[in-house]
Amino acid sequence: MLSRVAENLYWMARYLERAENTARLINSTTQVLLDLPKEAQFGWDVVIKVAGLDQLFREHHPEADETSVIHFLILDERNPSAIVSCIRNARENSRTFREVLPREFWERINGLHLYIQRSAARTTQGRGERFEVLNEVIERRQSIVGLLAGCMSHDVAYQFIKLGRHIERADMTTRIVDVNSAVLLPGDGVVSRAVLERLWMGTLKALSAYQMYRRHIGVHVEGAGVVHFLLTDGQFPRSVVHCLGEVEGCLAVLPDSAQAMKALRTAWRRLEGMRFEDLAPVVLHDYLDQVQADLGAIHDAVRKQYFELYQVAPPTAVVVDEE
Amino acid sequence: MDLIPPNYFLTDAFDELIGPDGRPRPAAVPLFRSLESLEPGVLAARRDAVDAAIMAMGITFTVYSDGANIDRAWPFDIIPRVIARAEWERIEAGLKQRLTALNLFIDDLYNAQRIVKDGVFPLEVLEGSRNFREQCRGISPRFGVWAHVCGTDLVRDKDGTVYVLEDNLRVPSGVSYMLENRQLMKRLFPEVFQASDILPVDDYPTQLHDTLADLSPREGARPVVAVLTPGIYNSAYFEHSYLAQQMGAFLVEGSDLVVKDDDCVYMKTISGLRRVDVIYRRIDDDFLDPEAFRPDSVLGVAGLLRAWRAGRVGIANAPGAGVADDKVVYAFVPKMIRYYLGEDPIIPNVPSWLCMYDDQREYVLEHLDELVVKPANESGGYGMLIGPRASPAERARFADLIRENPRNYMAQPTLTISTAPTLVGDRLAPRHLDLRPFVLQSSRLYATTGGLTRVALREGSLIVNSSQGGGSKDTWIVDGEAH
């Protein structure tokens, strides 16, 4: 496998995972907002903050109201993490390795790109329209994942896709959980138990985890249980620990993965040492930051081992027509 | 439904599918029978479905315009072009004959230059050749073959004669569209497809792979084959990735490769460097190797020519093969066929005047309003003068160009190239077209079954290049009577 292709596969998977999770985050936040009492300190700026985009956002927008945040997260190509940008990048990346993936893959990612280009404007025309479009983004993205799982050899190329997908997914899960630590930060006492339950329910729903949580943990939704579940449950596919397990599986197959494996073990051990009972929001936020940093260390190790042999040449726009 | 309108013919061009009596030619009868059995409106609806499928499949070519690269959908006409098998077999033999002679010629030029010494090919043409590479002198690649992949452009004049218009021996493109067109037709017109006995085209990737594998310097082991592309900005990037995919080859860019001190070529992989045996390069000589050719090239691989000369890597087409891809050299191909093979050319050349000869140049200058003038080394239809359609000022400008650099120009009569019915709105109308078959040579010879039919979609236009408003059609070789 060429280093350049491996890197493109890895980033393609990350972009798609990010697009899907951003869609999930927006949909669940919209739901949660409807249930919050007026005095709760929560606004769309929280979403921007947990996505790690507040600096870039402030460069372009004075105020974080729903319209500007939604536009920024879905449509704004100046934001490299916007859904349209992620999908465009994933599609552009896919061009460079069409030969290693099943050809239906290209048709679907191209279809997703054409769909979001056609429909992105609808997401600013009311919450109903927005929900529908984002849901379709999630569905189409799921169908791409399914196609790869079912129709692609689980070869080295597949491992890089899986690697990118799970590192990104674990990171996004911590960010979606972090929305709640942000909302609770200032006005801890104000928020009633019922509201808290709603908030955590929203988090679970954003990750399609509500049903699984109730089946495996219990009917009562409370913060410590949710955080525990989303970070350390070994069986739920969007939990951080589950993602780390998948990353471990990839590294076990890839050659020369000792350094990345070491970074993975560090992340794992730290996660296992975290205690979630009676968790103060500020501690939760620090925990999540730590997990994100550990995921970053795994990414760095992967990049150094597999991608650095290929030094990216300066972008060239030499246009030579063929005969 | 009667598909052929009574006033179908616009000019005296030969029509590929419809005879002068307004009835389908024999090979096209089953096609028309099944097309006419479709309900009204179905054709246009299918055309729209094809367009949607092309967008969805991302069958595109890239054009560079206003500083941005734009993906254009590949324009496709759903009415196939039909050629009778008997006629095709004669053409196929002619294509193989021609490539064989061309390869003997290239090998001769880089070695003994017998053809020059024997006075068949003039020294001054060789000396004026922009694509002759001194760096390739004295090399004789495996099988003596330099051009492993050739795209030969064929046209038919109004009397029905098929001519070779040009031989593309550098990086001919379009074969992926030939393959995709067939897929599209099978997907959208299964019933029309069943009505005729159409020969398949889909073994090309296998044939190309085997041709390339033939060039591997390492015996025994399964050779590592790579398609070398300039990258996603190239107009034919789609094709590069398509062929790599179909052949199970690696698609590499120059920056993925490195030539080490052992003169072997390696690619940079996740587990270190891995040796490459054969490179199907889709980069022009100029950009191939900054060490040997243009030093400012960022697309190529430093040392590639060295590796090839040392016999450590196979390159298709070989560096320097473009010497025969020159519209002046073209005029000598019939002589080459006689000289090297002792045979008469099966497919004739279009009659040509070479401006390097005083008498022929005078003729060209006096008849600029009737002729097509072509520069020796342009491709894609650029830099041409179509005399009858040019303004007096343009003709005057070309006269100056010719006088300044006679070796660089040749002229041909303006052919009335053939037409075929094309769906325009919901009616059939004649549009001009050519045919580009692809011919492969290594230890053996292979020609595609048919090739890529390129069609000028604008009424009356003779320019079929995709960069200039051309589209394409599926090309059917069917069992049946010749025209």
Query: pLDDT digit string (tens) for A302-318?
Result: 999 999 876 554 334 34
Report chain A residues whose CB lies below 8 A from the CB of B249. 99
Check pLDDT > 90 for residue A65.
no
Confidence of residue A134 (pLDDT cuts 50, 70, 90): very high
User: B271: which chain A residues are within 8 Å (Cβ-Cβ)?
Assistant: 1, 255-256
pLDDT of residue B200: 93
Position A200 confidence tier, pLDDT thresholds 50, 70, 90: confident
By C-alpha distance, the chain A residue nearest B168 is: A323
* Residue of chain A nearest B465, judged by CA positions: A323
CB contact under 8 Å between B379 and A322, yes or no, is yes
Separation in Å, CA A130 to CA A71, A86, A118: 11, 18, 13
Alpha carbons B376 and A320: distance in angstroms, whole number: 18
For each of the domains in chain B, give its residue range(s) and CATH number, in order of start: 26-86+181-198+416-478 (no CATH), 353-413 (3.30.1490.270)
What integer pLDDT is reported at residue A314 of this predicted model? 39
CB A310 within 8 A of CB A3: yes
Give yes or no for B55 touching A (CB within 8 A).
yes
Contact A322 B268 (CB under 8 A): no
| pLDDT, mean over chain A | 87
Contact: A316, B233; criterion CB under 8 Å? yes
Which of A256, A313, A323 is nearest residue B271 as measured by Cβ atoms? A256
B289 close contact with A: CB closer than 8 A: no
Is the Cβ pair B251, A318 closer than 8 Å?
no
pLDDT in tens, chain B (483 residues): 578 888 898 888 999 999 999 999 999 999 999 888 888 788 888 888 888 888 777 776 666 554 555 667 778 999 999 999 999 999 999 999 999 999 999 999 999 999 999 999 999 899 888 889 999 999 989 999 999 999 999 999 999 999 999 999 999 999 999 999 999 898 888 888 887 889 999 999 999 999 999 999 998 778 999 999 998 878 788 899 889 988 989 999 999 999 999 999 999 999 889 999 999 999 999 999 999 888 887 789 999 999 999 999 999 999 999 999 988 999 999 999 999 999 999 999 999 999 999 999 999 999 999 999 998 877 666 788 989 989 999 999 999 999 999 988 999 998 899 999 999 888 899 999 999 999 999 999 999 999 999 999 988 888 887 767 789 999 999 986 444
- Eight-state DSSP code of residue A46: H
Q: pLDDT tens across A159-185, in order?
A: 999 999 999 999 999 998 888 776 654
| Partner residue facing B235 (CB), from A311, A314, A321 | A321
Size of interface A-B (CB pairs under 8 A): 119
User: Across the interface, do A318 and B298 touch by the CB < 8 Å criterion?
Assistant: yes
Q: Is B299 on the interface with A (CB under 8 A)?
A: yes
**Measured between CA atoms, how close is B235 to chain A, in angstroms?**
6
At B391, the amino acid letter reads S
Contact A106 B298 (CB under 8 A): no
Q: Which residues of B touch A312 (CB under 8 A)?
A: 255
pLDDT in tens, A206-224: 888 999 999 988 888 888 8
Helices (H) and strands (E) in chain A, counts: 14, 0
Show the 3-state SS of A209-272: CHHHHHHHCCCCCCHHHHHHHHHHCCCCCCCHHHHHHHHHHHHHHCCCCHHHHHHHHHHHHHHH
The answer to whether the CB of A42 falls within 8 A of the CB of A64 is no
CA distance A46 to A41: 10
Name chain B contacts of A256, Cβ cutoff 8 Å. 271
Question: Are residues B256 and A110, on separate chains, in Cβ contact within 8 Å?
Answer: no
CB contact under 8 A, B269 and A311: no
CA-nearest residue to B282 within chain A is A322
What is the model's pLDDT at position A190? 54
pLDDT of residue B483: 42
B60: contact with A, CB 8 A cutoff:
no
Of the candidates B64, B244, B270, the beta carbon closest to that of A1 is on: B270
Is residue A194 over pLDDT 80?
Answer: no
**pTM of the predicted model as reported, rounded to 2 decimal places:** 0.84
- Transcribe B381-415 into DSSP letters: TTT-EEGGGS-HHHHHHHHHHHHH-GGGEEEEE--
Instruction: Give the per-residue pLDDT at A7.
Output: 92
Tokens read off for A106: 């290209």
The pLDDT score that the predictor gives to residue A310 is: 64
Whether the Cβ atoms of residue B151 and residue B173 lie closer than 8 Å to each other: yes
Instruction: Please judge whether B56 and A320 are an interchain contact, meaning their C-beta atoms are less than 8 angstroms apart.
Output: no
B232: contact with A, CB 8 A cutoff = yes
Model confidence over B207-246: pLDDT tens digits?
A: 999 999 999 999 877 899 999 999 887 878 889 988 998 8
Are residues A88 and A74 in contact, defined by beta-carbon separation less than 8 angstroms? Answer: no
Separation CA A74–CA A87 (nearest Å): 10
Record: contact B56-A114, CB cut-off 8 A:
yes
Give the separation between CA B416 and CA B228, rounded to whole angstroms.
38
Give the residue from chain A lying closest to B257, CA to CA. A310
